[in-house]
Amino acid sequence: MSKINGIETEWTILQRQHGNLPEALEEKEQDKVVYFKSASEEFENKLSEASLEQLQQIEQDKYLDQEEDDLLQQIKAKRLQELKQKQLANKFGGVKDISATEYVKEVCENPGKGVYVLVHLYAPAREECKILDDRLQTLSQKFLDIKFVRVRGSAAIPNFPDSNCPTLLIYRNGNNLGQFVGLGKIGGREMTAADLEWILAQFGVLKTDMKKPPSARVAGDTGFKFTGDFSSTVGSSSSNRRSAFDLDDDNDDDY
| Statement: the pTM of the whole predicted model exceeds 0.75 | no
User: In the chain, what are the domain boundaries?
Assistant: 3-89, 95-250
Predicted pLDDT of residue 185? 84
Contact (Cβ atoms closer than 8 angstroms) between residue 149 and residue 120: yes
Phi, psi of 113 (to 5 degrees): -65, 130
Q: What is the pLDDT of residue 10?
A: 66
- Give the separation between CA 167 and CA 245, rounded to whole angstroms: 10
Q: How far apart, in whole angstroms, are the C-alpha atoms of residue 67 and residue 198?
A: 45
Q: What is the pLDDT of residue 9?
A: 64
Say what the alpha-carbon torsion angle 204, 151, 153, 110 is, to the nearest 10 degrees: -60
pLDDT at 90: 63
Which residues contact residue 254 at a Cβ distance below 8 angstroms, ignoring those fewer than 6 apart?
Answer: 182, 183, 184, 185, 188
Please give the pLDDT value at position 210: 93
pLDDT, residue 20, reads 62
- Of residues 90, 171, 179, 178, the one with CA closest to residue 132: 179
Q: What is the DSSP letter of 107?
A: I
Measured at the alpha carbon of residue 48, what is the angle toward residues 211 and 212, in degrees to the nearest 5? 0
CB atoms closer than 10 angstroms to residue 153: 24
pLDDT digits (tens, 9 = 90+) for 33-84: 444 445 567 777 777 777 777 777 777 775 677 777 788 788 888 877 777 6
DSSP string spanning 185-237? Answer: GGTGGG--HHHHHHHHHHTTSS--S-SS-SSGGGSS----B-----GGGTTS-
Which pLDDT value is given to residue 242? 31
Which residue ranges in the chain fall short of pLDDT 50? 1-6, 25, 31-37, 226-255
pLDDT score, position 241: 32
CATH assignment of 95-250? Answer: 3.40.30.10
